[in-house]
Structure 1
Amino acid sequence: MFSIFLRDFWVLGSLMFALIVDLLLVLPYGLRLSAAQTMNLFLSADLRKGRLLKRSLITIAIAALFLSLSFHDLSQAKSDLRSLMLFLYFFGVMLCWLQLQLSFATYYAKIFYRGNQLDQVGDEDQGPQELIFPGDNEPVFTDFLYVANVVALTFAMSDVNIESSRMRKIVMIQALSSFMFYTLILSVIANLMVNS
């Protein structure tokens, strides 16, 4: 049993290591960005919609892997390994959740800066804006992290308004994926409690 855990641990450990490294590289950098740096980054970066969507789907798949392995392995684990395995699996799920929010925040920033912008010459409105932040300040990357976390935790928007149907669709996808994520977690927890 311990050898199976070690074999699975290398796979899960490497996935967790990759998630931790990505979060440690991206989050501190993103938290320090000014409004101008945020705009320059997302206007100049080659962020493709398909890649960001694939990243989000891969993150959900990795979380489902963590949860399915936790359900399978914890039901067969001996009591001395059970606590360690439970911690590792749910730590991996938490890392996936953070990665998912980071993916959607990046996607929101990309759509915001690539969406319809005001005409630079005449300041004429060129159509619906993607997101409308309160106040006069230009948004920084943490504003997009805020939007992603609010949608994930409340399944709704707060003080940020949406004008475009494209952005509404993305928010709906994030809300549904978050709902699926939480439902999966609750079902595994309930199953573990019943089978313990």
Structure 2
Amino acid sequence: MHKTSRFTHSHLRLTSIVLTGLIVGIVTPDSWRLVTRVLVGWNVAVWANLLQMGWVMARANRARVKEIAGREDDGAVTVLGILSIVATLSLVAIVLELTSAKGLSGAVKFSHYVFTGMTVLGSWLLLGAIYTFHYARLYYQSPANRRTLRFPDGELSPDYWDFLYFSFTIAVAAQTSDVTVMSSGMRKAVLAQSVLSFLFNVAIIGLSINIAAGLIGT
């Protein structure tokens, strides 16, 4: 029973994203382009999961954060990797979607730009959120006398807001904050998020210029 709950918790996020995306993608009109249907499914799945994760973070006290982190298993790393790859691949689909919008005009073209903007923002927020949970896992599964992070105020029982702050500082600036990284495993996770964040930030700038040029052209 204990093993089942650990497995369910570790893979629930990935399973819900896949199932939600597939269901939404299937029920979208057949007349839509495949890329559009995939992105619609991805968007619904991502934003639904962001709401769920936000709800968990907002309601969890320090004891609850420690409990959730303690239930994660090694499969959580695999889930993190898969979601990171898929979120990055969504950028390719976004480029294809923007390419298809070049021949459109007026409100239809503008709606495509809004749609792609929501996709980029959702994928970026998803990466920051899943790394927040991952950092909490690495912290609370480390020995109490050798924690993987050191917070500047001496906080020994950080909550999700602390990990969220750490994660999104990396997402925005591609560098660590005033929180000190104390282990090799944590440094690897920070490096991975820093690289992904850099790619996303560059893509966001490029897509913003592309969208601005398209709007000026209309």
Which residue of 2 is the match for residue 32 of structure 1?
59
Q: For 1:12-41, what per-residue CA distance to the aligned partner results, in whole angstroms no more than 9, with x for missing partners? A: 222111111111112111121111110011
Counting matched residue pairs gives: 184
Letter of the 2:188 partner, please give it.
Answer: K
- Is the CA contact 2:88–2:200 (under 8 Å) kept in the aligned structure 1? yes
Q: Deviations over 1:46-99 (max 9, x none)?
A: 352122121122122123322x12331222222331111100111111111111
- Kindly, what percent of the aligned residue pairs are identical? 23
Which amino acid is the alignment partner of residue 158 of structure 2?
P
In structure 2, C-alpha distance between the alignment counterparts of 1:94 and 1:48, rounded to whole Å? 23
Q: Using structure 2 for the length normalisation, give the TM-score.
A: 0.75
Q: TM-score, normalised by structure 1?
A: 0.83
Query: Deviation of residue 151 (structure 1)?
Result: 0.7
Cα distance between partner residues in 1 of 2:210 and 2:30 = 22
In structure 1, the partner of 2:92 is 64
**Who is 1:129 aligned against?**
147
Task: Give the letter for the 1:31 counterpart.
Answer: A
Query: 1:1-196 to 2 correspondence within 5 Å?
Result: 6-7=32-33, 8-46=35-73, 47-66=75-94, 68-115=95-142, 117-118=143-144, 125=145, 128-137=146-155, 138-193=157-212, 196=217
Q: Which has the higher contact order (CA 8 A, sep 6+)?
A: 1
- 1:194 positional shift: 5.1
Amino acid in structure 1 at the alignment position of 2:32: L
- Give the partner amino acid of 1:52: L
For 1:27 and 1:185, the matched residues in 2 are separated by: 23
Distance (Å, rounded) in 2 between the aligned partners of 1:44 and 1:34: 16
Indicate if the aligned counterparts of 1:75 and 1:192 stay in contact, CA closer than 8 A.
no
CA distance, structure 1, for counterparts of residue 154 and residue 41 of structure 2: 44
- Matches of 2:179 and 2:92 in 1, distance apart? 30
> Which 5+ residue runs of structure 2 have no aligned equivalent?
1-28
